[in-house]
């Protein structure tokens, strides 16, 4: 699993918190840190083929930066699942139209600031899919 901040977000506390949360939930996490340019994210995803990319932002510009990041991934032909959450707009909650644009661009799930319960449920559903896929492929999970 790949964890990343957005291009314009220099905060680290959210990334440390999420890394610990994800690791405590049994996931192996590679944390790219803050201020990650789209090109770096695309390159790491192309090289590492992570099961999931988790994008976090707390500076209020997550929508704009996240949209650019997912478009860069999709333009590069990468189909890696991507989720984004945090403070995606300066006004607080995600505007429904912006949420729809993120989803249309290729984001798989959008989480509002502090929506840890929904994130855990989403991660649990991914784990169930991997387990079922492993049963269908002779015990080797595919993700």
- How far out from the chain centre does Cα 72 lie? 14
Residue 56's beta-bridge partner residues?
Answer: 5, 85
Torsion sign over Cα 74, 66, 33, 7: positive
In order of 2, 7, 34, 54, the CA distances from 51 in angstroms are 8, 21, 20, 10
What are the pLDDT digits (tens) for 111-130?
988 889 999 999 988 866 55
Does the domain made of 2-138 have the CATH classification 3.40.50.280? yes
pTM of the model: 0.88
Listed by start position, the domains of the chain span 2-138
What are the pLDDT digits (tens) for 78-114?
999 999 999 999 887 778 999 999 999 999 999 988 8
In order of 6, 24, 76, 103, 140, the CA distances from 85 in angstroms are 11, 19, 22, 12, 30
The confidence score (pLDDT) of residue 95 equals 86
Q: How many C-beta atoms lie closer than 10 Å to residue 140's C-beta?
A: 9
């Amino acid at each position: 699993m790949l964890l990343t901040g957005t291009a314009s977000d220099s905060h680290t506390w959210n990334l440390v918190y999420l890394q610990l949360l994800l690791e405590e939930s049994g996931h192996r996490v590679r944390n790219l840190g803050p201020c990650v340019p789209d090109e770096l994210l695309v390159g790491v995803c192309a090289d590492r083929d992570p099961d999931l990319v988790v994008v976090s932002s707390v500076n209020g510009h997550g929508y704009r930066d996240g949209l650019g990041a997912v478009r860069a991934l999709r333009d590069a032909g990468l189909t890696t699942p991507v989720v984004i959450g945090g403070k995606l707009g300066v006004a607080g909650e995600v505007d429904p139209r912006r949420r729809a644009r993120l989803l249309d661009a290729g984001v798989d799930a959008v989480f509002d600031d502090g929506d840890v319960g929904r994130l855990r449920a989403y991660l649990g559903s991914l784990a169930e899919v991997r387990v079922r896929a492993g049963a269908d492929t002779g015990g080797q999970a595919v993700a």
